[in-house]
Structure 1
């Protein structure tokens, strides 16, 4: 049975977050229909099974709920209050009011006066199991929904690079690693296989494992492979991960046939393995081999420094990949990269 839901995505990374939202539901072949988008909020029709799966996997879904109503604030506050009170179960629910990025702060104060402080959520009420009815004020609109999910950063904190059994500097954080895997459109329900050919100490493979995916984790550096083995064992993922020392630019990669590729290639000149003239040279050989490894009509996700984008566009097209998405990701002051989502043409 289909219901209306609302999800609040990461505002700072909205294009990536919305792409992840669609990628998860599409990869799992779950039914959904987007009804309305307002800044970082998506209202959509779907099933409980689909929403549960989305929220188990999504890295950039901040909050979600069962949708109640969308109201133009100019209609008056009484309409908002009336709908909220109809939705309240005084013993099991409370009210939260959020002025998104400061919009409607005066309206929020007026709503508190009308609804009453006693009906507002407190930490104690939420810890006791009371369910929030949320009023989100944004762009002269009030979005009303019953909160069913909030992202808890502490679920990722135990997997931060410096807390893993084996740490290496420059390792991608688990939220982004999970995002890359999700954008590669591999299905956890079908236990599909995802490849990370520049795996470092195994961050992508850990996130894939925790979503129920199988993965192949490769790196040319023996020390990285050893580190990956330690981390994979540390998160009890050895049954779902195959680890190998392998050069992503060599043809041995084609011995695998995978459902998706998600990887974070080396960026700096000093990071490029011996035998390659440049990062472009390495990426060209990798893309050539990736085409032979990836199944038809499946997806690959990776990032490169922004200045290489024009050359990579050419290389991808020459090797039979269709560029589906490109996202700009500002890592820090000296590094802006392009995140590619590409599809292998049959």
Structure 2
């Protein structure tokens, strides 16, 4: 509750970067909340080490609140957590009661919380401010070790492809494609996403890139339109979807695949419990519950990834997996081996 209050009323923005602010002066910045109620919320934040009380009647920044004040992306992350993810998590059990054994992305805690029958990304598409906030919140992951494009570049031998065509499925505005072609200029990348996203990505593309990167509107629940590419790449896509939907996404590649084509999946892969610290296990399980609450999806272990891929089509051959420690991400390589090919 105190975190939601800090976000909603922009409390960190009123606290000086250095020093403290008298409590009456701070509460005066937020006239829509009574001083008594706001003081109690601030006391809760102090008790949880989010704010500091350096002396009676004064409030100062902690490292956490200072980060919130300095980073719009962190503010957006907190807003999305407080107003989307955490309320949805509170409705997971009622959702399980209402929709027993459901594998549908529109039958979640989020749907009960928002009283809607649409999946999360469709909900966002109707609310530009909320959609922008979520995108901003997710952008902070670029600074987390293992989540940067460079980690996936280092974990796979892209250079061995030579002159090749890579299709970045659900590649957003082309951040990964840009990093990939800068490091491996012989590669050509086709970035696929919904039309509004690829239009923005196309407009943001630096002129120096030239024809190495192109954009294409595509819904990955439809048949893949690019035939015979060397690599089809999925970065942080499949963990957003329940198994049955992932199977549809992967099977939609099949008509386009040539013998020996690669499918590269850069996504979360949950290590065995005994290989995680208590902190890592807690974070991983919390993320898994968040995926359940919002998408009816999950974070998968290597065993679960292998099972999913085998179910999609027996002609997918699991070649390798590289865990991007210390992050929970991995790079998984599949090859397409139709009958009679080697």
Q: Give your verdict on TM over 0.5.
A: no
Shorter-chain TM range is: 0.3 to 0.5
Looking at secondary structure, tell me which structure has more strand per residue.
Answer: 1
What TM-score, normalized to structure 1? 0.41
Greater relative contact order (CA < 8 Å, ≥ 6 in sequence):
2
What TM-score, normalized to structure 2? 0.42
Looking at secondary structure, tell me which structure has more helix per residue.
Answer: 2
